[in-house]
Amino acid sequence: MVVFHASQKGYIFWTGINDLINRGKKKSRRFSSVRCPTRDNLTCDPMEITNIFNKHFPSVGHKLASNLLPSCRHFSEYLSGNYEELFFFDPVTPTEIEREILSIPLNKAHGLYSCPYRINILRPARHILSIPLAKLTNLSVTSGEYPSKLKHAKVIPVFKDDDGTDPTNYRSISLLTTIVSLRK
């Protein structure tokens, strides 16, 4: 059980309120303009900047894969026998879910469907939530289906170096929903 002193409760309350209204946050580097790769000119339109990053980030993996040697082999070539029968899954227990909830760092960033102070909600309710979460996790693995809402991420472009108008000088950080990001 989590016990807060009166001064801590007030601090947590006002921190939550300020977070919800975006007050007191450090200003991160905002892109004032980004070069459009197809037209090679700068744009300041936030919607167009979003679309440029939206096209750039998914293409990075394909570009890197095309640089690999053609001799790269499929993982199944390294396994002998019927590898489908070698995989097994021990069902997740509510105790394991509780342990994972307790291991979430307090300062972890939140994704699309997460509450900024979800840890303060999840930790005290872990005994109740761990049972359905364990059932959902086990059902997801045995059925081979994953909830589509949990496949979404909040993607943040992070500037690396050099020219700030070039979208290739940014890397993406994906913030996942709390339930997905239980593993560190």
| DSSP string computed for 62-76 | HHHHHTS-TT---GG
β-pair type (154-159, 170-175):
antiparallel
Q: Model-level pTM?
A: 0.56
Q: Which of 62-76, 114-128, 154-168 has the highest mean pLDDT?
A: 154-168
Q: pLDDT higher for 72 or 93? A: 93
pLDDT above 80 (res 103): yes
Is 30 exposed, middle or buried (CB count within 10 Å of its CB: 0-12, 13-18, 19+)? exposed
Locate the domains of the chain by residue range: 80-182
pLDDT at 27: 46
User: Which pLDDT band holds residue 128 (cuts at 50, 70, 90)?
Assistant: very high
String of DSSP letters for 1-31: -----HHHHHHHHHHHHHHHTT-SPPPPPPP
